[in-house]
């Protein structure tokens, strides 16, 4: 019976953000070629880049599934995030074509000995293709593609966006994905800020401009920007519920999960929070029932003291994993990999 292998070296060795990435395409989405009423419908896609170290996400709109389109997408990504050292992807024809083109460019640069070409040739990109029919080997991008694509289909529905509106919506969704809490930022009991992917990207949490909630309003067809606001707010509401649910999965009735602890930083499940705003609190008191099981806790938040049932809080993924009874250590890279790195 096969056993789960250790994570590859590029997943466990600290690296600058987006130096090692995994990429995939998702779609199609029907878009309008212009804002005219009877404008022609075209297909649009998005390309996702996920940092293998920090799990930061970058979304790029793409007009076609072709090698040229992916080369242009990769150039836009490198212009804003830097040239990656390693790219992992599946073996789709568009990726294979892009890989071959990059190899040709690298060979051309290596054949030229002038200073500029030599400087550019030093920025080679290592491209690793997953085997065919092995989507689990790209799980770090597949899970982001699955959640983003499914919710986008639900949010957009029958709406037909232009390519510019689609790009704006993807940028707002990217900020949502990069705002998710990863672990406590510090052990200070008065600090309620979590560590997010935004800290690796800009050095501080990602925030959104203040705006009115317009989900339930009737939007005029002429107010297209309000439509984008409504779609992004709807995506935020659906995605936060889905994300918090993944943090609360436990084996009911079969085994007891690790109980919450005093001083632990947790997420509060609150309704009607604005986009990119997470309500955090630290547990100050445990209130067990007659059977000794903790079902209610007291929390200290930036707005004061609160009392919540355990079902209305969610433990941060890294923080809860460290409190487990038995953790399987991740083995380091083999000696030959260490030598190369």
Does residue 95 have a pLDDT over 90? Answer: no
pLDDT bracket for residue 333 (50, 70, 90):
very low
pLDDT at 337: 32
pLDDT bracket for residue 202 (50, 70, 90):
confident
Verdict on whether the full-model pTM lies above 0.85: no
pLDDT at 336: 36
Domain presence at residue 193: yes
Same domain for 207 and 83, yes or no, is no
Give the C-alpha separation, 252 to 273, whole Å: 29
Domain presence at residue 3: no
Give the C-alpha separation, 315 to 9, whole Å: 28
Same domain for 137 and 36, yes or no, is yes
Does residue 328 have a pLDDT over 90? Answer: no
pLDDT at 60: 92
Alpha carbon of residue 164 to chain centroid: 22
Give the CA-trace dihedral at 194, 198, 201, 202, to 10 degrees: -90
Domain presence at residue 165: no
Same domain for 197 and 289, yes or no, is yes
Q: 3-class secondary structure for 261-273?
A: CCCCEEEECCCCC
pLDDT at 263: 87
Same domain for 290 and 227, yes or no, is yes
* pLDDT, tens digit, 9 for 90 and up, residues 99-109: 787 777 767 66
For position 185, which CATH number holds?
A: 2.30.30.140
Q: Which of 166, 199, 165 lies closest to 180, judged by CA? A: 199
* Chain mean pLDDT for the chain: 76
Same domain for 230 and 279, yes or no, is yes
DSSP state of 167: H
Tokens 């990119």 belong to 276
Domain presence at residue 51: yes
Domain that holds residue 254: 178-328
Same domain for 126 and 195, yes or no, is no
Domain presence at residue 172: no
Specify the number of domains making up the chain: 2
Same domain for 142 and 183, yes or no, is no
Domain presence at residue 170: no
Domain presence at residue 211: yes
For position 13, which CATH number holds?
A: 3.30.420.10
* pLDDT, tens digit, 9 for 90 and up, residues 258-301: 778 888 888 888 877 777 788 888 999 898 888 888 889 999 88
pLDDT at 234: 79
State the burial class of residue 81 (Cβ atoms within 10 Å of its Cβ: 0-12, 13-18, 19+): middle
With a pLDDT cut of 70, the percent of the chain lying above it is: 75
Domain presence at residue 171: no
Same domain for 189 and 252, yes or no, is yes
pLDDT at 61: 92
pLDDT at 49: 93
Same domain for 125 and 49, yes or no, is yes
Same domain for 119 and 182, yes or no, is no
Same domain for 182 and 316, yes or no, is yes
From 147, 168, 187, the end of a domain falls on 147
pLDDT at 341: 29
Give the C-alpha separation, 300 to 303, whole Å: 8
Rank 30-39, 215-224, 297-306 by mean pLDDT and report only the highest. 297-306
Same domain for 208 and 136, yes or no, is no
Q: Which of 133, 130, 73, 61 lies closest to 98, judged by CA? A: 73
Beta pairing partners, 308: 297
**Consecutive H or E run containing 161:** strand 161-162
């Amino acid at each position: 019976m096969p056993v789960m292998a250790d994570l590859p070296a590029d997943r466990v060795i600290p690296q600058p953000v987006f130096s090692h990435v995994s990429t995939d395409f998702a779609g199609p989405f029907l878009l309008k070629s212009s804002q005219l009423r009877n404008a022609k419908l075209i297909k649009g896609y998005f390309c996702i880049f996920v940092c293998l170290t920090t799990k930061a996400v970058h979304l790029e709109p793409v007009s076609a599934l072709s090698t040229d389109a992916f080369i242009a997408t990769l150039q836009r990504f490198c212009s804003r995030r830097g040239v990656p050292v390693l790219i992992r992807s599946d073996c789709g024809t568009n990726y294979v074509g892009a890989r071959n083109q990059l190899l040709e460019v690298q060979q051309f640069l290596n054949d030229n000995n002038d200073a500029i070409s030599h400087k550019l040739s030093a920025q080679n990109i290592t491209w690793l293709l997953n085997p065919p029919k092995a989507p689990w080997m790209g799980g770090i991008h597949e899970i982001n593609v699955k959640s983003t694509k499914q919710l986008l289909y639900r949010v957009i529905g029958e709406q037909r966006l232009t390519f510019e509106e689609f790009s704006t919506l993807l940028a707002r969704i990217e900020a949502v994905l990069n705002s998710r809490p990863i672990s406590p930022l510090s052990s200070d009991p008065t600090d309620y800020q979590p560590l997010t992917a935004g800290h690796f990207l800009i050095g501080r949490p990602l925030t959104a401009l203040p705006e009115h909630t317009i989900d339930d309003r009737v939007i005029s067809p002429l107010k297209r920007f309000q439509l984008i606001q409504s779609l992004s707010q709807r995506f935020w509401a659906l995605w936060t519920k889905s994300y918090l649910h993944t943090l609360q999965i436990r084996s009911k009735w079969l085994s007891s999960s690790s109980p919450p602890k005093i001083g632990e930083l947790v997420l509060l499940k609150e309704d009607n929070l604005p986009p990119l705003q997470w309500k955090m609190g630290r547990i100050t008191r445990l209130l067990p029932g007659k059977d000794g099981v903790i079902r209610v806790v007291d929390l200290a938040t930036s707005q004061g003291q609160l009392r919540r049932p355990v079902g209305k809080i969610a433990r941060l993924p890294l923080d809860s994993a460290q409190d487990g009874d038995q953790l399987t250590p991740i083995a380091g890279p083999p000696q030959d990999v260490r030598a190369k790195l």
